[in-house]
Amino acid sequence: MNEQADAKRFRTLFISDVHLGSKAAKADFLLDFLRHHEAETIILVGDIVDGWRLKRSWYWPQDCNDVIQKLLRKARKGTRIIYIPGNHDEFLREFPGMHFGGIEVALRHMHEGADGRTYLVLHGDEFDVVVRNARLLAYLGDWAYDAAIVVNIGLAAVRRRLGFSYWSFSAWAKLQVKHAVNFIGEFQRVVAEEARRSNADGVICGHIHHAVIEDIDGIRYINTGDWVESCTAIAEHHDGTMELINWQKVSEPQTDASGFEMQELLAPKAA
């Protein structure tokens, strides 16, 4: 079967927070997504490789290799791929402007949409007070999230045996903490303000694993989400419309031959 012939085609795809090297990374989901989607440009919005976890203990299964090889293959076939490092793959920040296998490294990028809108694209960790000012606390938080993922796996197995639907303990716990300090709202506001200072119409970022498309005081704020739990990406259509795609593996019979179901949420049109 020719995968490219069956793939949906977009102008641009934005993907972040894959965390390859973490046991929580859903590399198989991302690989399937990449098989079913093509784009003229793919922008990797940070934390694709999880250097923090790899430093603690090496974990690199075949799925991780497959994702990297798939991206390199797309680059060889003409897709422009831009890699904007995040805090977990910050080692790449030492190589701005370099090309690795056809993949460009950039600290941030100004994307011009097909509709003329401009978007500041950056990972976003520089606006996270915890990461910026308390690295030890950030590492402890990362460890706690790992522990929550382990609890989540066991809880999901129990709920499945009891016939209950999937519910993410780790996502719930993370959101409870961040809501307690109004973290997400403040992060979105500060990142949107950075876009305004850069004379951009919008901002596309990752980092907080909270996928959304919304307008904040006249700035289009877009977060790509993650490939640890939500498995989300942002797709730009050829008319400039931005779309949030959620790619989830399901067991119901209404799925396609790949065994995956696609749920897509269209971004609101600009006024």
User: Is 181 part of a structural domain of the chain?
Assistant: no
User: Is 145 part of a structural domain of the chain?
Assistant: no
Q: What is the pLDDT of residues 198-228, one digit of tens each?
A: 999 999 999 988 899 999 999 999 999 999 9
Rounded to two decimals, the pTM is 0.77
pLDDT of residue 186: 82
User: Is 164 part of a structural domain of the chain?
Assistant: no
User: Is 113 part of a structural domain of the chain?
Assistant: yes
Residue 156 or 217, more confident: 217
Q: What is the CATH number of the domain that holds 238?
A: 3.60.21.10
User: Is 158 part of a structural domain of the chain?
Assistant: no
Range of the domain at 222: 10-125+201-266
Q: At residue 271, does pLDDT exceed 80?
A: no
Strand order in the sheet with 103-105: 99-100, 103-105, 80-83, 37-44, 8-15, 232-236, 242-249, 260-266
User: Is 102 part of a structural domain of the chain?
Assistant: yes
Q: How does residue 75 score in pLDDT terms, banded at 50, 70 and 90?
A: very high
User: Is 110 part of a structural domain of the chain?
Assistant: yes
Residue 249 or 74, more confident: 74
Q: What is the pLDDT of residues 15-73, one digit of tens each?
A: 999 999 998 899 999 999 999 999 999 999 999 999 988 988 999 999 999 999 999 99
Indicate the number of domains in the chain: 1
pLDDT of residue 180: 39
